[in-house]
């Protein structure tokens, strides 16, 4: 009931007009006091709602809510235009969810189809890498996860984060004509700070067919209060765009580009994409430091190889770094 009430309030408030608390209560069969409590909970999720006596509740700015039908329509046109052979994936859109990755992982393996997508307006338990929380304010970003079956087993998962980063680059460029930078192993940068992150969850054995869930968190229009909770420097796409970002159209573009890149990776591996990666590598040929637990290694980033490993030059010798609990940063 609580989730249903919140979803009804969100849809009522989304157009940006005043909505009477009395009428909302009557429609839902609850008191005005209960409505006030739910509105307070929505503000804690990142929605900027204010009230005026005699008028009711109003959003400071109208919400451009995700709409499944719009996403599928744009996606169908995008896939047809590109002339590829990918089928239209199943797409789910949720208002409130714990984590889009967790939602798909709970449905492994029999309740998912190849390329199935989960999108959400808000995550109560969004995850980043290394156990970090992914700050997920309501209705202002893109939180997207896709299921992808790995026929060759977990060994094929090595390059997934790089392939996904290229897909994000493709989608942002196509939608807003903005070129992002890529940072090994799982970040997308814009003007030197973080714009988006990638989280890959895996299940299976090294040499047997396995399962992956690929999560993307893309900052579109970060509310000021939510931005204060983020521990590292960040930016959002709207701050760099002269036109309003259409969340539905960009979500569809992300799905299409990710499906296309994953199919290419499945057929040809990472090697044909390496030049594109290096063209947009934020740290290529720059001094960096690699942090693994308490250990810090200083070197020069020389790009990545066709298995997705970082090429780190240390004292004239090339080391291959295959990911794990590591963090790559500029060495200033």
Q: Does the annotation mark 194 as catalytic?
A: yes
Measured CA distances, 208 to 156, 204, 211, 214 (Å): 10, 7, 10, 19
Half-sphere exposure of 166 (CA within 13 A, CB side): 21
Give me the torsion for CA of 160, 157, 187, 61, rounded to 10°.
70
**106 noted as active-site residue:** no
Q: Among the options 32, 107, 194, 289, which is catalytic?
A: 194
Of 6, 58, 127, 129, catalytic: 129
Report whether 124 contacts 97 (CB < 8 A). Answer: yes
Residues in a beta bridge with 51:
57
Separation CA 109–CA 153 (nearest Å): 14
The angle formed by the CA atoms of residues 158, 320 and 322, to the nearest 5 degrees, is: 30
**Does residue 58 contact residue 14 with C-beta atoms inside 8 Å?**
no
Burial class (CB in 10 A: 0-12, 13-18, 19+), 265: buried
Catalytic hit among 3, 55, 82, 329 = 329
Annotated catalytic, 129? yes
- Sequence-distant (≥ 6) Cβ neighbours of residue 295 within 8 angstroms: none
Position of tokens 């997508």?
Answer: 117
CB atoms within 10 A of CB 76: 13
- Tell me which residues are annotated as active site: 129, 194, 329
């Amino acid at each position: 009931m609580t989730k249903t009430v919140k979803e009804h309030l969100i849809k009522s408030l989304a157009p940006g007009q005043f909505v009477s608390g009395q009428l909302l209560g009557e429609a839902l069969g609850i008191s005005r006091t209960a409505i006030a409590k739910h509105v307070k909970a929505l503000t804690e999720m990142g929605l900027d709602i204010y009230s005026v006596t005699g008028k009711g509740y109003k959003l400071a700015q109208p919400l451009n809510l995700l709409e499944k039908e719009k996403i599928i329509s744009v996606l169908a046109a995008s896939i047809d235009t590109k002339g590829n052979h990918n089928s239209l994936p199943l797409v789910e859109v949720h208002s409130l969810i714990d984590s889009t990755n967790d939602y798909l992982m709970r449905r492994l393996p029999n309740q998912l189809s190849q390329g199935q997508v989960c999108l959400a307006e808000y995550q109560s338990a969004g995850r980043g890498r290394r156990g970090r929380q992914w700050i997920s304010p309501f209705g202002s970003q893109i939180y997207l996860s896709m299921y992808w079956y790995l026929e060759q087993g977990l060994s094929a998962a090595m390059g997934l984060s790089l392939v996904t980063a290229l897909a994000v680059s493709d989608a942002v460029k196509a939608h807003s004509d903005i070129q992002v930078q890529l940072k090994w192993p799982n970040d997308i940068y814009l003007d030197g700070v973080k714009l988006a992150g990638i989280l890959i969850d895996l299940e299976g054995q090294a040499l047997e067919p396995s399962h992956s869930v690929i999560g993307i968190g893309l900052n579109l229009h970060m509310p000021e209060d939510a931005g204060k909770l983020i521990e590292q420097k960040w930016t959002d796409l709207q701050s760099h765009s002269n036109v309003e970002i259409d969340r539905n159209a960009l979500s569809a573009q992300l799905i299409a580009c990710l499906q296309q890149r994953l199919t290419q990776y499945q057929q040809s591996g990472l090697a044909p994409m390496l030049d594109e990666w290096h063209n947009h590598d934020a740290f290529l040929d720059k001094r960096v430091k690699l942090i693994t637990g308490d250990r810090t290694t200083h070197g020069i980033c020389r790009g990545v190889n066709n298995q997705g490993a970082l090429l780190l030059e240390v004292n004239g010798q090339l080391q291959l770094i295959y990911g794990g609990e590591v963090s790559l940063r500029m060495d200033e």
